[in-house]
Amino acid sequence: MATLCLPYQLSPEQTEKLDTIIQRHRPLQKRDVLIHNGEPLKFLYAVRSGSLKSYTLDSQGSEQIIDFHLPGDVIGFDGLIDGNHRSYTQALETTMLCEIPIQSLDQLSAELPGLRKQMLRLMSGELHASKTLLGTLNHHSAQQRLANFLVTLSSRFQQRGLSSRSFRLSMTRADIGNYLGLSVETVSRILTQLQQEGVLAVQNKLVEITEPERLRALAA
Amino acid sequence: MATLCLPYQLSPEQTEKLDTIIQRHRPLQKRDVLIHNGEPLKFLYAVRSGSLKSYTLDSQGSEQIIDFHLPGDVIGFDGLIDGNHRSYTQALETTMLCEIPIQSLDQLSAELPGLRKQMLRLMSGELHASKTLLGTLNHHSAQQRLANFLVTLSSRFQQRGLSSRSFRLSMTRADIGNYLGLSVETVSRILTQLQQEGVLAVQNKLVEITEPERLRALAA
DNA sequence: ACGAATCGTTGATTTAAGTCAAAGTGACTT
DNA sequence: AAGTCACTTTGACTTAAATCAACGATTCGT
């Protein structure tokens, strides 16, 4: 169970201990909301399959997507600041999760330095990704942003043992635009443009990156 | 020493233990670079006085500012992912720091749950700030971004016991623009515009927020 | 299996912010 | 104290991407 949920370099003994605190969560259906803004943080969630988006609502009640979660990701770190979740998290498709009780995790991490390090590494990685994205969005054109988004997705899929060349976008064009600070129309236009240039082939949700090198060059 | 560097809710006993591992760092002059991208991460740094900026360099060698650090901030969390710093960090003015050896901190945090929690809280807070900023930048106009920047700065100063109404911008307009994804000219124009509207008064690096309420409203 | 609703594409037009250019201001150096 | 350099402001013009609008294509729910 622990290996499925937190597939990281831990010793068998450590894995066994982790197993005792991790629970399987009921599966989520598309559009189910896992986490509501402001809720007390009791668990972290590890994604086993499927995908989710995290978002906040601004003063006018409109969504601001701040993250997409894929299998292997851990959800909830940003709530550790005061023990409350700081965003909504919603399933983009049928999704399986593990839940990890914060309190047990904290206790366990006192005796397992490897686990402690792993948690720090996960948070640090998220922090780094988030700051990198900031730089990306601030200084790049719509095409560069989208290229970067696709390259990042692609490498995340690869890290998880899936194909980096062809995959399914579980989020809508509107979600992508929202996340990248672009309008739906712009996202759509750029996708067709990239397709015309032969960099990739899109068919609805399915993307095949035909020339990864060129896409990576565009993302720079 | 520890109270100066990490002024958080720790017991006297905990503070004493922290004291044994924290060192004073030599003062930095304006433009001194504290951290180079790729360097192994040996210490975290806590800002005692002064300020710094963190940035990455893109493929064309141009700066992408990802953070400003004020007194009380801890620098270096994003490097925990693999033990290497992921950015450059440079002093914006004469700056005093404490250095905290990572390894001792990790050992100490095994026996002090409060310290562990504090570290998680700091990282989580940074993560949250970074994600919030992402949302802000993606979905707001130049004026809203700048207003938001000033409001955030203002409240950070307040948290540190300084005036929230008038303060000095240790970074240049170019730095602000870079951070917010705006051109220098736009930053300048919006500052004069806000001044004309009576929301604030700017004189060179000095800012006085005359109508905090209106500024906050603009930041929304 | 059907209609409704959501999602995606494409075209025409508008606009916010970037770029280019130049002058003004302040601040460090010798 | 003068000159240089870096920073800031202001104006004119351009442009990338948003908005508005309309129409296909999928997906969803009954």
- Assign B1 a pLDDT band (cuts: 50, 70, 90): low
- Rounded distance between C-alpha atoms, residue B130 and residue B126, angstroms: 6
Q: CB contact, 8 Å: B132 with chain A?
A: yes
> Does B113 contact A109 at a Cβ distance shorter than 8 Å?
no
Tell me the H-state helices in chain A: 2-5, 12-19, 102-111, 113-139, 142-159, 173-180, 184-196, 212-219
Residue B37 CB closer than 7 angstroms to strand C?
no
Of B80, B120, B124, which has the smallest distance from its Cβ to A121's Cβ?
B80
Nearest-nucleotide field for A204 (CA, C1'): C8
Which pLDDT score, from 0 to 100, does residue A1 have?
A: 62
DSSP B28: B
> Does A66 contact B134 at a Cβ distance shorter than 8 Å?
yes
Which pLDDT score, from 0 to 100, does residue B4 have?
A: 66
- Assign B168 a pLDDT band (cuts: 50, 70, 90): very high
Which pLDDT score, from 0 to 100, does residue B8 have?
A: 66
Which pLDDT score, from 0 to 100, does residue B7 have?
A: 61
Question: For B181-205, how does the pLDDT look when each residue is reduced to its tens digit (9 = 90+)?
Answer: 999 999 999 999 999 999 999 999 9
Low-confidence ranges of chain A (pLDDT < 50): none
Q: CB contact, 8 Å: A40 with chain B?
A: no
Spell out which residues of chain A touch residue B142, defining contact as CB-CB under 8 Å: none
H or E element, residue B132: helix B113-139
- Assign B111 a pLDDT band (cuts: 50, 70, 90): confident
Which pLDDT score, from 0 to 100, does residue A4 have?
A: 67
Pairing of strands B96-101, B23-24: antiparallel
**CB–CB contacts below 8 A, A to B:** 127
Residue with tokens 């900031």: A134
For residue A80 the two structure tokens come to 């550790």
Nearest-nucleotide field for A180 (CA, C1'): D17
Contact B35, B76 (CB under 8 A): yes
Task: Calculate what percentage of chain B has a pLDDT beyond 90.
Answer: 76
Q: pTM surpassing 0.75?
A: yes
- Rounded distance between C-alpha atoms, residue A219 and residue B8, angstroms: 41
Which pLDDT score, from 0 to 100, does residue B15 have?
A: 84
| B3 has pLDDT over 90 | no
Phi-psi region of B62 (alpha: psi -120 to 50; beta: other; left: phi over 0): beta
Q: CB contact, 8 Å: A86 with chain B?
A: yes
> Does B135 contact A86 at a Cβ distance shorter than 8 Å?
no
- Rounded distance between C-alpha atoms, residue A200 and residue B52, angstroms: 42
Pairing of strands A74-75, B200-203: unpaired
Which pLDDT score, from 0 to 100, does residue A112 have?
A: 86
Spell out which residues of chain A touch residue B66, defining contact as CB-CB under 8 Å: 131-132, 134-135
Which pLDDT score, from 0 to 100, does residue A119 have?
A: 87
- Please give residues of chain B from 106 to 165 whose alpha-adjacent beta carbon (CB) lies under 7 Å from any atom of strand C: 141-143
Question: For B41-72, how does the pLDDT look when each residue is reduced to its tens digit (9 = 90+)?
Answer: 999 999 999 999 999 998 888 999 999 999 99
Rounded to whole angstroms, the distance from the CA of residue B188 to the C1' of nucleotide D7 is 11
Which pLDDT score, from 0 to 100, does residue A18 have?
A: 85
Question: For A175-203, how does the pLDDT look when each residue is reduced to its tens digit (9 = 90+)?
Answer: 999 999 999 999 999 999 999 999 999 99
Of residues B11 and B94, more confidence is placed in B94
Q: Testing the interface with A: which of B123, B180, B183 to mutate, by most A Cβ within 10 A?
A: B123
> Does B133 contact A138 at a Cβ distance shorter than 8 Å?
no
Which pLDDT score, from 0 to 100, does residue A26 have?
A: 92
Residues ≥6 apart with Cβ < 8 Å to B70? B47, B51, B156, B157, B160
Spell out which residues of chain B touch residue A106, defining contact as CB-CB under 8 Å: 113, 116-117
